[in-house]
Amino acid sequence: MSAALVVNAVVLRGTGGVWRARDASGDEYDVSLRGRLKQADSVKLAVGDEVQLERDARDGTWAIATILPRRSRLVRRAPGGAYGERVVAANVDQVVVVIAAAHPTPHTRMLDRFLVIAAANDIPARVVVNKVDLAHGDPRLPFAAYAAAGYPVHATSVPNREGFAGLHDALRGRVSALTGPSGVGKSSLLNALYPGLSLRVGEISKSVDKGRHTTVGATMHPLPDGGYVMDTPGLREVGVWNVAPGELDRCFPEWQALRTTCRFRDCRHDEEPGCAVRAAVASGVVDAERYDSYRRLRAELESELPNR
């Protein structure tokens, strides 16, 4: 291990107490926060944080001395109806939502939910349609609305190694929060892309979850050619994300030009007269399924608002 007294590292996993961090050469450290950082509760450490580790000259132990500024944060509401927010992960460069063309049948409501989470946190997102070998007809067709909205859409197949080069390029050197329903092939994809990685996405989190009966944090898996794939079990929970109902329409990128042309500035795009979004749905310019997702998510957000 390094003889230096200060080392830059990335937090791979941990929940309070002891954290696992990894330096640029791949060495890993079990570390806790230096006392003075523990007291400063302004910034709570999160998985994905870039930190500086300091070695104690006397006993040689390492500790987290500095949390470096964050590029991004994935935030959710504090659990149990409490006020405030919780940082699920820091420095996520992109959210990658994996869905299957078939087996299991794709649910675009779930896809929309994850894309809204990404947008609400100002994090770019991309869609991976896996198992295209099982699709009837053009597997991209059911996801045309997403490509039109500006999301990169990858069509992949593990047995045929289809779409691998594009996905590999998209993951290289970045921190990607990988999410999607179980059984769509997230682990299979990663293991086929990175032979020897032997990843079981969701596995670690599940076993920890059983023992503690609490929501567990994210886990970062280093990729052999740079970058990380982050497993974010917290993202899979229903209705835990952090967006005000009036902000929801901003999370649908394909409506950006439209939503400002509604008659009312605070248009909910529901029953209001002169709603440009609803008119665009009626004329087929805006995808009706995406609009339906918006309405459901909006109703959900409004019902979850405290004191309303």
Strand order in the sheet with 94-100: 153-155, 125-130, 94-100, 175-179, 228-231, 219-222
Q: Shortest approach of ligand GDP to residue 116 CB, angstroms?
A: 21
# residues contacting ligand GDP (CB under 6 A): 15
Is 186 near ligand GDP (CB under 6 A)?
yes
Is 277 near Zn ion (CB under 5 A)?
yes
Say which entry of Zn ion, ligand GDP, none residue 262 contacts (CB below 5 to 8 A, set by partner kind).
Zn ion
Q: Shortest approach of ligand GDP to residue 205 CB, angstroms?
A: 12
DSSP E strands, the chain? 6-14, 19-23, 28-33, 50-55, 62-67, 73-77, 85-90, 94-100, 125-130, 153-155, 175-179, 219-222, 228-231
Stretches 20-28, 63-71, 161-169, 264-272: which one binds Zn ion (CB under 5 A)? 264-272
Is 207 near ligand GDP (CB under 6 A)?
no
94, 153 in Cβ contact below 8 A? no
**Residue least distant from ligand GDP (Cβ):** 185
Q: How far is CA 96 from the centre of its chain?
A: 7
| From 236, 269, 290, 298, residue interacting with Zn ion (rule: CB under 5 A) | 269
Q: Shortest approach of Zn ion to residue 241 CB, angstroms?
A: 22
Say which entry of ligand GDP, Zn ion, none residue 269 contacts (CB below 5 to 8 A, set by partner kind).
Zn ion
Say which entry of Zn ion, ligand GDP, none residue 131 contacts (CB below 5 to 8 A, set by partner kind).
ligand GDP
Residue 179 pairs with which residues in a beta bridge?
97
| From 48, 163, 185, 233, residue interacting with ligand GDP (rule: CB under 6 A) | 185
> CA 111, CA 146: separation in Å to the nearest integer?
10
Could you tell me the two tokens for 277?
């979004």
Of residues 112 through 131, those in contact with ligand GDP by CB under 6 A are 130-131
| From 72, 91, 121, 157, residue interacting with ligand GDP (rule: CB under 6 A) | 157
Is 189 near Zn ion (CB under 5 A)?
no
In one-letter notation, the amino acid at residue 99 is I
DSSP assignment of 212-253: H-S----EEEE-TTS-EEEE-GGGGSTT-B---GGGGGGG-G
Closest-CA residue to 99 (of 86, 80, 82, 112): 112
Is 221 near ligand GDP (CB under 6 A)?
no
Could you tell me the two tokens for 267?
């248009």
Is 61 near ligand GDP (CB under 6 A)?
no
Nearer to ligand GDP among residue 63 and residue 102 (C-beta): 102
